[in-house]
Chain A
Amino acid sequence: MRLSRMGAFFPTRLSFMRSLIRRLHTERAMVTRSVWEIDDDGYGRAVYSVTFGGDVYSLVAFSTSLDPEQRTDRVIAEAWDTTYVLFDGRPTSADLDRLAIETPRQEAGRFSKTELVLSRANKSLRLFAHVVDSLAVGRQPDRSMIGKIGYLMRTTAVYGNGKFGIADRLRILERPAVNGPFQLELLTVWLIRGFTHDLVEHIAKMRDPKRFRPLASDIKRHLGIGNATGLGMAPFLVNHPILLHSWMLARETAFARVRSIERASPATIDAFLVCLARARRHIEDWQVDDISQMDRILTLRREMKEIAGLSTQAWLAEPYLWDRLTAASERWSEECQELLLALMLEPHGELIDDLSSKMASDVEPTLQPSMSIGELADLLDETFAWAAAMDFGETASTQRFWYISEEKLEPRLGDRYREPGAEKELPLDIARQIQTLRAAIDSEPRHEIVAHFLMRHPEHRRIARRVQTTASNPYAEIRDNLLGADCRPIDMLRCKLSFFGASKFDPKSDLWTRITLYQGAPTFEQLGEADADDWSFPVLGDAA
């Protein structure tokens, strides 16, 4: 698995947001708003509850005034427009009073096991103000602006699994509805999105109740929730190799199943073509400032025309359509190949949706202490040859180091040869560690066991148990140099975010991107509609 490929991923129907919405729809989940104590300016608190898998989850939202000078998407922020917790059950008024103090403090707050997720979001000032202004005078907001920005607020962090004292993941391990990857975090984000819709309408209505008009339903549906994501996601992928393997394996298995279909049914072909056409419009709407990404988008637009040209009735009717399409895509960019993969999976829900339930893994790397040094050497030589082939001799190949800053523990990248702190770098240099381990065991007797070697060389313990565990998991390792001057961390971000279901990747640098979540997804009111799963590559049509 290479970074350039990962950096071209698109969301698929296996993405976690898609599977969450499918299950919410299947369960006929209903969201209720039990508390709405928001003043005319939009400040106050609200509670939304949803019953899912037999348990009740409540989003507790706080909206406060924020000095513009404090509005940053970075982890280093100390204040936000809105802050949230996902509460396990229905909060009492005492809980709400406690959370009103702690939630706006975010990382500095004190939480308990009833708080499952902690999050915050800032307004997209441009769009939020425009939508309020429009609705307050009875107009719908500018559709091109909605299409270009796509969200009213951006979340800047969504914390789960015991962070800052909230509930550990262990608490929900026995709850099948939410124990898949990031399900509670993404449920929280979907509820936040609904809150932003309500908030913007409330402020507009309070400004001029007589002239006010609510958001048109198609505009509302097209308003997702933004997210700003930085380096923190990259170490996560490296530090959870088996989980990454599980995600990739599900995706590749789904792809293989589809490619092996001999006769594509007319219904799936039609659904594919509809989705292709929609994706073309979606990509036409996708505009970013980043020159490199915009070049890729322009190439993708050209290549999508070629796909459409290829898709004649005669060509589509031949056997093994999906496999032939995959073979044809080899001449196009990785971005195009990955988009095609997503489009080919789209009409095959019955064939592949079961894989969604196989994407969780709590497996921790475990040492195999009785393995001989000879076996370990063979394993490294045969399975990890990609790591041995990397050259770390050049300065540029070790230019960067990953670290945690003391400033609010923000993950950062440094220049090893110009900045202090490299002695505290995070151990993300997997290939280099493998090389070091291989060199260290070279002088050991082949019959020696790993346990004995590590007793005297504990500095290799982490990488030894990692290679022993990941050797049989071919998608576990990113086979690139994460220290190199030319490494693009944003490729890892895009990979992980695509599994979440994010779209409209909008890089702000090689280390940082904005994205849109849940654009086109059903709103609270639309969850029960028949097409609740048909929201890939959303586009906003013209006004009716």
Chain B
Amino acid sequence: MIVSVNQIEATIAKAAWGRGWPHGLAEECGRAAAWLSTRGFDGVRTALAAIEPGPAEPLIDETTDAIVFGAAQAIHAAPSAYDLLAADIGLERVVLQEIDQPLLVIGFGGMAALAYQSCYRLTFAEGCRVIVDGSAVSIAGTLPPSGAEAVIEAEGAGEEGTPAVLTDMEIDGSLWHDALTMAAESYVASSLSSRKFGAGAGIIDDD
């Protein structure tokens, strides 16, 4: 089925929030999923896979020239990684170990590149190298599966980036159903009382 960028952003954000991710991360996860989707990647599937288990206690190890996220959940570790590199505090790299969803880290990179007008290089232990800026991504090699390790470094100033590439984004119907189901976890069940009083309006308008 065809979905819009807005639908992806909103639905993924709700799904993440519904699963217990903080609002700020949930919103950015929605944008990262949309960024990936508009560039031809399966942003919805990778986002849902990252959202599904909910947030875990982060494992963070800090040294003088690097920060290491262990058992890295992309939704939490990736935004922080890009923030830290953008902060210009002399930090050379951020290491994400055992990444749950490597593709989503790239999506967050696209969003960070847009926000910070920067460009990032991701080097995976398996040899895959990725350059991401606000408008596009180049991948040399095969993107590794879950459990990979990546070193993220700033690659200098990026281009301003372009808005999402408009496409009729075809999404697998059952996958989208899963997204909507997970998003529904952020809704409140309706009751007779909330139906009657929660919106401050009557049920029938026949005048």
Contact = CB atoms under 8 A, between A and B. Distances in A.
A451 interface: yes
Interface stretch (B42-50, B102-110, B137-145, B185-193): B185-193
A405 B187 contact: yes
A390 B36 CA distance: 41
Interface string A373-389: 00000000000000000
B200 A71 contact: no
B184 to A, nearest CB: 6
B200 A424 contact: no
A462 B200 CA distance: 29
Contacts of B88: 370
A366 B24 CA distance: 11
Contacts of A165: 1-4, 7
A367 B80 CA distance: 11
A449 interface: yes
Interface string A155-169: 000000111111111
B65 interface: no
B125 interface: no
Given A72-B205, A124-B207, A164-B7, A424 B199 contact: no
A228 B200 contact: no
A455 B164 contact: no
Contacts of A230: 199-201
A340 interface: no
Interface in A435-493: 449-452, 454-456, 458-465, 489
B87 A424 contact: no
A407 B205 CA distance: 18
Contacts of A456: 58, 60
B6 interface: yes
Contact of B198 (A171, A414, A460): A414
Contact of A403 (B18, B80, B188): B188
A112 B7 CA distance: 12
B203 A74 contact: yes
Interface in A49-106: 68-69, 71-76
A321 B199 CA distance: 44
Interface in B114-133: 115-116
A176 interface: no
Most buried by A among B23, B191, B193, B200: B200
A455 B73 CA distance: 12
Given A165-B4, A407-B195, A126 B24 contact: no
Contacts of B191: 419
Contacts of A294: none
A76 B192 CA distance: 13
B194 interface: yes
Given A112-B2, A370-B89, A421-B189, A455 B7 contact: no
Contacts of B194: 405, 412, 414, 419
A293 B187 CA distance: 33
Interface residues of B, number: 53
Nearest to B6: A162
Given A173-B163, A419-B194, A72 B5 contact: no
Nearest to A112: B2
A451 B87 contact: yes
Contacts of B58: 455-456
Nearest to A149: B207
A69 B190 contact: no
A74 B198 CA distance: 11
B25 A73 contact: no
Contacts of A460: 24
Nearest to A507: B200
B206 to A, nearest CB: 5
Contact of B4 (A167, A231, A459): A167
Contacts of A124: 207
B60 A71 contact: no
A461 to B, nearest CB: 3
A511 interface: yes
Contacts of A170: 5, 163-164, 166
A409 interface: yes
Nearest to A239: B27
Interface of A: 68-69, 71-76, 110, 112-113, 122, 124-126, 154, 161-171, 173, 228, 230-231, 366-367, 369-370, 403-407, 409-414, 419-421, 424, 427, 449-452, 454-456, 458-465, 489, 508-512
15 contacts: A72-B204, A76-B195, A76-B203, A110-B2, A168-B6, A173-B163, A369-B84, A404-B188, A406-B184, A413-B198, A451-B80, A456-B60, A459-B22, A462-B27, A508-B201
Minimum-distance CB pairs A-B, first 8: A511-B200, A162-B6, A461-B24, A412-B198, A462-B24, A421-B188, A162-B4, A451-B83
